[in-house]
Amino acid sequence: MSSNRQNAIGELQARLSTILVANGFSTNAGAMVLIGEVPVFGPDDPIHALSIQPGADEVTFKGEQAFVKLPVKVAVMAKANLSDVWSTIEDVIADVKRAVETDHDLSKHVVPRGFTRGPTTPLERQDGSEFIGVEIEYRLEFPEVWGDP
C-alpha cells in the first residue's frame, strides 16, 4: 500500500518522465529522472538529467489529521562540457515547468492548490564536477491520518 507522500512524489516523477522531444518538449531530459540521487554522467549517458530531492517536511495536526508540507527540489543538470550549457539548462527549466505545472493538485495527490513553485536556484559547481545545473523548488501539501500515511 502506498502513502500520500509516495503518490505525490510518484506523480511528479511520472510528469517529469514525459519530457521527451517525441512528446513535443524541447529536450529529452525525461530520459533520466532519479529520486534522491545525484546522477553520474558517463560517456553513454544522456546530456541532461533530472533528480527529485525531497526535503524535510513540516507537519501540523488537527486531532488525528496531519497536514504535511513537503519541499521538493527538482535538480536540472547537464553535462558541463556542452558548448552552450546554460541555454540547454534554460530549455530544460522551461520543459520542467510545462510538464509538471498542468494543475495545482498533482492529479488530486495533494490538497487543492497544494502544489506550488518556489525559487529556481543555481547549483554550486564543485571543482572537477561533470555537471552544471539549477534546482527548482516545489511544495507539496497533503493530508495524512495518524498511523495511516
* CATH code of the domain containing 130: 3.30.2000.10
For position 116, what pLDDT does the model report? 96
Domains in the chain: how many in total? 1
Q: Which residue has the higher pLDDT, 69 or 126?
A: 69
Residue 105 predicted with pLDDT over 90: yes
Residues 6+ apart with CB under 8 A from 37: 51
The domain of 108 spans 4-145
Local confidence band at 59 (pLDDT 50, 70, 90 cut-offs): very high
Give this prediction's pTM.
0.92
Local confidence band at 101 (pLDDT 50, 70, 90 cut-offs): very high
Residue 124 predicted with pLDDT over 90: no
Q: Please say whether the beta carbons of 49 and 110 come within 8 A.
A: no
Q: How many CB atoms lie within 10 A of CB 110?
A: 27
pLDDT > 70 in the chain, percent:
99
The mean pLDDT value for 92-99 works out to 98
